[in-house]
Structure formats: C-alpha cells, structure tokens
Amino acid sequence: MANITKSAVIFFFQILLRLSLLLAVSMAENKLIEGVGILGEKDSKLECATAYGVRGGDNCTSVAETFSLSPGIFADINPNVDCNDLLLGQWLCVQ
C-alpha cells in the first residue's frame, strides 16, 4: 500500500518536472523573441524620431538641408534609401 502510494507520487513528480521544463523552455524562447522585438523597435525609434514624405522635386540634399542635417548624418539615418531613385511619398528619416 505504502509502496504504491510512493511510486504514484514519484510518477506524478516526474510528469510535473517534465511539464515545468517544457514551460521553462517555451518561456525562455518567448523572452528571446520579445527581446529581439524590443531591441529592433528601440533602434528604429532612435534612428527615426521624425519622418518626412518625399514630394516632387525633393532630393536627399534638399531634404537634408531643409532639416539642417549634414549629408553624413542624413545617410546614417537613411541607410536603405537610394538617393538616385527617390519615390514620391517615400518616408525619409529627418531626425
């Protein structure tokens, strides 16, 4: 009688252990994904506090001058912008 109870308790704890391990792993994965998301968000916010929509006749130089940015800083905060091919309505970071 006592033996049966003991093995039942051990069995129960083994299942509990496996479940908590699984839970811990999935929680760690969630945190990892969350961390990457927060980092990415932080980066884009830091680099682009203000955006400007391209209008006809704009070019990188004129937009940078409008917002008192040096060409170097403008290029740094707009790493994916092709200044030779600006599109109307395209968003540029200006701060």
Considering only residues 20, 30, 59, 95, which one is a binding residue for ligand NAG as defined by CB under 6 A?
59
User: Minimum distance between the CB of residue 44 and ligand NAG, rounded to whole angstroms?
Assistant: 26
* Nearer residue to ligand NAG within complex by CB, 59 or 70: 59
C-alpha to C-alpha distance for 50 and 46, rounded to whole angstroms: 10
Q: Tell me which residues in 39-58 interact with ligand NAG (CB under 6 A).
A: 57
Alpha-carbon span 93 to 39, nearest angstrom: 19
Out of 7, 62, 66, 95, the only residue in the binding site for ligand NAG (CB under 6 A) is: 62
> What tokens were used for 91?
């968003």
